[in-house]
Structure 1
Amino acid sequence: MMKGYDTFFEEPGTVVERICRVCGTPCLVERNKLGATSWVAAMAKRETLHDFFYCPHHEQEWHQQALELVQAIEETPSKRLASLLQLDLIDLLKENGIQPQNEPVSSGSSE
């Protein structure tokens, strides 16, 4: 799981739905959860009331591979390499029963 890609923390009741940035699947949600929303908050034992969104596929090996492809697409300065990686990502998603809608990666978006 990677915050901002396949897991999201939102203020309670402010967001109806989140979509996984890795595979485009609507996320599952746990509403009004009390807990840490970051590693630092966990270390400080600071809890915050939040809605926790997460991809239902996040524990599957193919999803981790897809996450790595998404990160590589966003990090490469090469448009050609990004296009090839995007094709690999689309193939991987299709092999696992996910039909990509448009482009599953929104390059340069901030979360």
Structure 2
Amino acid sequence: MNIGGKWEGINILHTDPGAEESLSCKACGMEMEVHRSVIGPTQRFEAMAEKEHEHDLWFCVNNRLDWHALLVNLTVEQSVTSSPSLKAFIQQDINAIKAEHIAGE
């Protein structure tokens, strides 16, 4: 689910409180930051029903950067295509962006 330019399950994650010690962004691989024991909804329908619960909110430190938004979009495209050749082609773009913007890639 897209949340304000961020994708739940890729660069925004919700977990049970204390369930994870650390998580990595599925787009860029960087360690995510966490807000522990947040009270609030974790899904659109939960918010519409005015429900909330305690959870940990994880987010990538690179979320506001243009190159990261492109990585997220490519990751989504790669996950929905059924073509192995397109997946490989998209991976080349992902690798090039990571090499340009992430140290050690």
Percentage of matched positions with identical amino acids: 26
Length-normalised TM-score, structure 1: 0.83
Alignment correspondent of 1:62: 67
Moved over 4 A (4+): none
Alignment correspondent of 1:41: 46
Please say if 1:86 is aligned against 2:91: yes
1:48-102 CA-to-partner distances (Å, cap 9, x unmatched) read 10111110011211111111111111122221121111010111122223544xx
Task: Report the Cα distance in structure 2 between the residues aligned to 1:41 and 1:79, rounded to whole angstroms.
Answer: 36
Q: Is the contact made by 1:93 and 1:99 (CA closer than 8 Å) also made in structure 2?
A: no
Alignment correspondent of 1:6: 11
Helix, strand or coil: the match of 2:7? coil
Any stretches of 5+ residues in structure 1 without a counterpart? 101-111
Task: Report the Cα distance in structure 2 between the residues aligned to 1:77 and 1:56, rounded to whole angstroms.
Answer: 30
* Structure whose residues are more often strand by fraction: 2
